[in-house]
Chain A
């Protein structure tokens, strides 16, 4: 691993906050980072690793910040990137939005976090739930922290503190699937997969033991038993609280949940999905440098279901002007700063077909890729959720299923 120092920079390259962990790379090296990045950007050859002499900068960008790790070792790249993303995750959990302003407003907490997250270039405590116990946060909390020793330091269950109390005991389960599709200009699906996750919001007292029952289709595909009928789930990740040994032996997902929000599991299904919303587009060029784009959208899902907030983005050339639109439903508008037409449909019932026509002047239309964003609900697979706690209180589980578009692109011919 061994990162030598971590920097948070604003877009102009000013160091907002930095932490020197090892002291083997000159901290002034960071001044070369932005000029090098700019140079690469000009040459169109941006790369997530920038090297200057023996120093390597590994960087990621988050909103209006650059997070940069420097090292002079041939260190493990994927681990460094994972750590930088972990930083983003932890900071976001603390400040809601991670951006320049929140760093400046909370620089003390950021320093404290950087101190706990890494020592001597090695990641230490990175679980945000545990971190919260180490971080003194605001002055008002001071008196408490002075006497209270963090329970998790010695605790067997590192992700949950003891003695949590709620008046009303509830669990919210969100099953969120996002669909990534890439469709060719001639209408064939080039690649498609589904990325799903189960999110929990736990508001339960004590040390509850939860058991989640999934339906058989999911179980079989998780275990890869019934290969013929079901699709394999790839890349299944569980939160560290899930007892994997238990899952291996009798296929139940049992766990002591972390308090508050957490992601219980995530998975990917790499399968040939029928695109839920099918788009056809015709681009007609008329002689007097006028162009008409016609987009037809069809909902290819059950009649009872409804997709909400569908957005269809049609890229147009930057020199397009005088847009005119006609839609059978929803509204279309031209977003010149992003060079696209945005067609929004508030609710899109299954099996329906809608049309949009757009006229433009003077464009030189080339190849486009349409992007579609939507949100809808589907039927899914949680069978039961059992909550067992010593005191035996009543608790309510709530389940919600959402399907949303991930990277949903359809190509068109010019």
Chain B
């Protein structure tokens, strides 16, 4: 069919639809309807054909019916009055001897999403609940959920709720599961479907008949049940044991979630359950689909918050493959960092070293930072690797290494000598502002150990006019001030030039204010300046990597098997807006009650041990 302009097409279709000759021939009529739907899915606005399509609905042709219903559901909200005309046909179809037609009509009736039509839909839905064909009952059950979703807050018909509860005993497993879903939706305000002992036992017995989706639904709903006795609890647990090691990752995860909620008061049992799922979870990490692998990795990270050593013996499973996407590699590296111990440290470091030259710069930088984290516990080996990487003279690698060294020195002051000797010559390869800021910080704080520090700073000061990054300028000011305190003779002249530039010529207020502040500070005398500028050089308390206390399971159990773990700690590279290490302030982690809707702004995207970096003036 040649593609005509939108309006042209609509006009032509309209003519064809109302042509009695076309209507008389079923095949031609259907083809015309097909063209309408095709135009609709191509984005042509065909809402003008609504009344013609309503007429086309009265047909014995199932295919045509399906097409017309599809059209009507898309445009019903634009034509509420005309939609009323369809109701009659739909209601007639609900009496059709063919269950397929009945379920089709019922489904589309509830999909129209028109509050004004609710009164006409209720009766067929009630009848649908008692239909002898399972496929009609499935649709009718969910139809009620749709109806209540359409008018939230409307009165709940107790008879319907009772009917739905009784349908939990329907022979068809999908009807049963749909009932759970529908009741959950209808009784949302009251906390969802009520799960008592008989229902629990019934659901557990029927679970085998359900497909994967149904099993997950049942397991999710059962989380609300609180067993009355320990005996009952353990009976349930042993019934569920098989699905705990289910090969379907969603079922396994749902079962674990249920285990954790049932055993909230029995930490030993919960821990045993975690041990048991580690196998299937690892298997999911090798799944064919990248997304499933990613999900499994994120959930392993959750588990490791409570049992840090859980995956210890399997650390090789987290080695990255060549073709894996960056998001998987970065998660795997985060896990590898957590798994490090005396036996595997050299293997893990060898592996991570290999990733430092990855073609993806983010992966490479993440690997370098991962080595830096391990450096907090095994500083000598890591420093050797990191300084070796500087020899490659690649700007993104050097930048990441210098930043990592800065972070490392902050927590392990004993590394400073090695770091100082490695810094010489780095400035030539550094391109990005983050890396240069890190270098400047190091030169300021450890300038006495780097013989070429004044010359490096001088080069920066000479180029300050063409410098665009605000962060670099601020860091340069502070670094020059600090170096002045330790090596006054070499630095005095350039400090004067820099302050002059910042106060007289600089247009950015932040830089100018900082310049003025330092100028006045110097006027107050050298001792005063020293007090302000030479604060702490390190904070070893931040650096614990091994032996971090395990968190209680309850901290994360509620977010297990949801979307939330996938959003947390997205990347190791939290390079955006990061200042010097001393700007770091610890932010208490509040255990947020998990909302039904996931609002990402409440979740800090920062790995645990990193706390929070804030950009502010440290000295003010």
Interface residues of A (CB under 8 A from B): 1, 15-17, 22-24, 43-49, 51, 54, 56, 58, 60, 71-79, 81-85, 107-108, 111-112, 115, 119-120, 122-127, 134, 136, 139, 142, 145-147, 149-150, 153-154, 180, 182, 190-191, 193, 195, 234-237, 240, 268, 366-367, 369, 371, 407, 409, 411
Contact = CB atoms under 8 A, between A and B. Distances in A.
Contacts of B564: 74
Given A44-B362, A268-B283, A154 B295 contact: no
B247 A236 contact: yes
Contact of A234 (B30, B70, B283, B360): B283
Interface string B41-70: 101000000000000000011110011001
B9 interface: no
B38 interface: yes
Contacts of B253: 76, 78
A1 B562 CA distance: 9
A44 B566 contact: no
Contacts of A125: 174
Nearest to A147: B98
B406 interface: no
Task: Report the 6 A-B pairs with minimum CB-CB distance, sorted nearest first.
Answer: A74-B598, A235-B283, A369-B322, A44-B362, A123-B213, A237-B247
14 contacts: A43-B362, A45-B573, A47-B294, A49-B567, A51-B567, A54-B599, A74-B564, A75-B562, A78-B250, A78-B253, A120-B142, A149-B98, A150-B100, A411-B354
Contact of A48 (B27, B63, B291, B354): B291
B321 interface: yes
Q: Is the interface of B mostly helix, strand, loop or mixed?
A: helix
B138 A124 contact: yes
B14 interface: no
Given A120-B145, A125-B174, A182-B321, A108 B567 contact: no
A81 B174 contact: no
Given A73-B597, A81-B289, A47 B63 contact: no
Contacts of B99: 149, 153
B611 interface: no
Chain B interface: which size bin?
35 or more
A74 B595 contact: yes
Most chain A CB within 10 A, of B134, B177, B211, B594, is at B211
A146 B296 CA distance: 45
Contacts of B354: 367, 411
B570 interface: yes
A17 B562 contact: no
A136 B63 contact: yes
Contacts of B254: 76
Given A47-B294, A81-B295, A154-B134, 17 more contacts: A43-B362, A44-B362, A44-B363, A46-B327, A48-B294, A49-B563, A75-B562, A75-B563, A77-B561, A82-B249, A119-B178, A124-B174, A136-B63, A136-B66, A139-B63, A149-B100, A190-B316
Contacts of B289: 60, 81, 85
Given A119-B142, A122-B217, A142-B61, A237 B598 contact: no
Interface of B: 27, 30, 34, 37-38, 41, 43, 60-63, 66-67, 70, 98-100, 107, 113, 133-135, 138-139, 142, 145-146, 149, 174, 177-178, 181, 211-213, 216-217, 220, 247-250, 253-254, 279-280, 283, 286, 289-292, 294-296, 316-317, 319, 321-323, 325-327, 351, 354, 357, 360-363, 559, 561-567, 570-571, 573, 594-600
Interface SS of chain A: mixed
B142 A77 contact: no
Contacts of A366: 357
A107 B35 CA distance: 11
Nearest to A40: B327
Contacts of A268: 283, 286
B10 to A, nearest CB: 18
Contacts of A15: 43
B361 A76 contact: no
Contacts of A149: 98-100, 133
Contact of B563 (A17, A56, A182, A236): A56
B295 A44 contact: no
Contacts of B211: 126-127, 240
A237 B291 contact: no
B562 A367 contact: no
B216 A76 contact: yes
B80 to A, nearest CB: 15
A122 B322 CA distance: 36
Contacts of A191: 316-317, 319
Contact of A182 (B292, B319, B360, B599): B319
Contact of B562 (A22, A58, A77): A77
Nearest to B298: A77
A84 B295 CA distance: 14
Given A73-B598, A122-B213, A136-B63, A46 B321 contact: no
Contacts of B321: 182, 407, 409
B280 A45 contact: no
Contacts of A120: 142, 145-146, 149, 181
Contact of B286 (A85, A115, A193): A193
Contacts of B317: 191
Nearest to B320: A182
Contacts of B360: 44
Interface hub of B138, B250, B573 (most chain A Cβ within 10 A): B250
Contacts of A115: 66, 70, 107
B292 A146 contact: no
A410 B494 CA distance: 54
B562 A74 contact: yes
A136 B326 CA distance: 43
A150 B101 CA distance: 12
B213 A1 contact: yes
A48 B327 contact: yes
Contacts of B573: 45
B127 to A, nearest CB: 18
A77 B566 contact: yes
A204 B350 CA distance: 55
A343 B99 CA distance: 58
A112 B211 CA distance: 21
Contacts of B357: 366-367
B140 to A, nearest CB: 11
B286 to A, nearest CB: 7
